[in-house]
Structure 1
Amino acid sequence: MTTSSKTLGDLFDSFEYEAFRLETLDDYSKSGNVDAYHAYLAGEPQPDDYNAGWVEELRSHTEKGKRVYRVHLLSRPLTDYLCFELGWGYRKNMTGGEEFFILDITDKPNPLPGVPDFWCFDSKSVAVMNYDGAGKYLGSQVLEPDRAAEFVRYRDTALAHAEPFTEWWAKYGA
């Protein structure tokens, strides 16, 4: 897989109108917010400053009219981690203007088998997110621009099969 000299951070700093993320894992608990995840499991209340840095970054983009949105491909029953991510993370990030969609494949075929987690920026730049089998983030790989069309198709397929998070959460949320 050929890569670009740009980094994921470069892509976040330079996107002009949209940043899309596809999430495919049931557990990212080894990748960040580990202390918050343990607090959630212990039944502690969400801290007021939870995800504050990310929410501020989201606002810096969405207040300029840029769209930041994601689809999470999942099936029920939800893992403890997904209950945490959706209940604490998504709901908090929405305050910064991020949009969320759920592609629930419970009792349905997966329309994106084998597609990795990725970010797609302005339909022209893609960073594949790499994780180990336990959900630990191993880094990202920015692809050459000629790969973007493939990932735009993945994005469009995900969105065509997904529903808004708030509607899905009202039916199935923890």
Structure 2
Amino acid sequence: MKVFEGQGREVFEKFKNETQERAFKLETLQYYAEDADDPSLKKWLNGDKNESIRLLGGNAKERSGWWPKDEKIKKTRIHIIEYPLSEYIKWEIEAYRYVNIPYCGEEVYLLDSKHMDEYQNIPEGWIYDDNRAVIINYDKNGKVLGFETYEGDEVKPFINLRERLLKLPLEEIK
């Protein structure tokens, strides 16, 4: 089933709120347009890294409000990265350190794209409790085009992909 932008946020909220044990996020892009107006990112890109980090830390709880830390739910994120790292990715790594890890309770890993030859064109998205998935479709500039949802047996290919990725050399962000 396809779900487009208007309905997509509602589906994310529903799946997130019904998650009991595990959530997995795979990120494949090197830039996300939804962050373009973020004051912290703007400071980072203008070379004011200290102020950028201060902004990240200063409103970390607010930023994590979309899915705060919950000891019952294991959250894992893998971001496939390309070297040399873009300034955007460097900023996002700091966001992981200041927000996603301490306030959302995520385990965050980076995966060098050089390990991805056999995984070209893999989908980006979330797996919830191994029985639901939301795939996010983006344009070439990192803007969300729409969402696809999968449930039950349709999720198995995404679970298999996750398990294969977790066996590759990952760098944990702390």
Give the RMSD, CA atoms, in angstroms: 2.3
Q: What corresponds to 1:172 in structure 2?
A: none
Select which of 106, 109, 119 maps to 1:101.
Answer: 109
Q: What corresponds to 2:24 in structure 1?
A: 20
Q: What corresponds to 2:80 in structure 1?
A: 73
Q: What corresponds to 1:32 in structure 2?
A: 35
Alignment of 1:1-174 (within 5 A): 2-3=1-2, 7-28=11-32, 30-32=33-35, 34-35=37-38, 36-42=40-46, 43=48, 44-46=51-53, 47=55, 48-60=57-69, 62-63=70-71, 65-87=72-94, 89-92=95-98, 93-96=100-103, 97-106=105-114, 108-166=115-173
CA distance in 2, matches of 1:70, 1:161: 14
* 93-102 vs 31-40, greater mean Cα deviation: 31-40
The letter for the 2-side match of 1:17 is E
The letter for the 2-side match of 1:40 is W
CA distance in 1, matches of 2:133, 2:96: 22
TM-score normalised by L of structure 2? 0.81
CA contact (8 A) 2:111 2:171 kept: no
CA distance in 2, matches of 1:72, 1:91: 14
The letter for the 1-side match of 2:37 is V
Give the number of the structure whose residues are more often helix, by fraction: 2
Q: Secondary structure at the match of 2:147?
A: strand
CA distance in 2, matches of 1:52, 1:140: 27
Give ranges in structure 2 of 5+ residues lacking alignment.
Answer: none
Could you say if the C-alpha distance between residues 33 and 133 of structure 1 is closer, same or farther in structure 2, counting changes exceeding 3 Å?
A: closer
The letter for the 2-side match of 1:90 is Y
The letter for the 2-side match of 1:16 is Q
CA contact (8 A) 1:58 1:98 kept: no
CA distance in 1, matches of 2:116, 2:155: 25
The letter for the 2-side match of 1:155 is R
Deviation at 1:55, TM superposition (A): 2.2
TM-score normalised by L of structure 1? 0.81
Give the number of the structure whose residues are more often strand, by fraction: 2
CA distance in 1, matches of 2:151, 2:2: 5
Q: What corresponds to 1:171 in structure 2?
A: none
CA contact (8 A) 1:111 1:158 kept: no
Could you say if the C-alpha distance between residues 139 and 26 of structure 1 is closer, same or farther in structure 2, counting changes exceeding 3 Å?
A: same
% identical aligned pairs: 25
CA distance in 2, matches of 1:151, 1:166: 23
Could you say if the C-alpha distance between residues 162 and 3 of structure 1 is closer, same or farther in structure 2, counting changes exceeding 3 Å?
A: farther
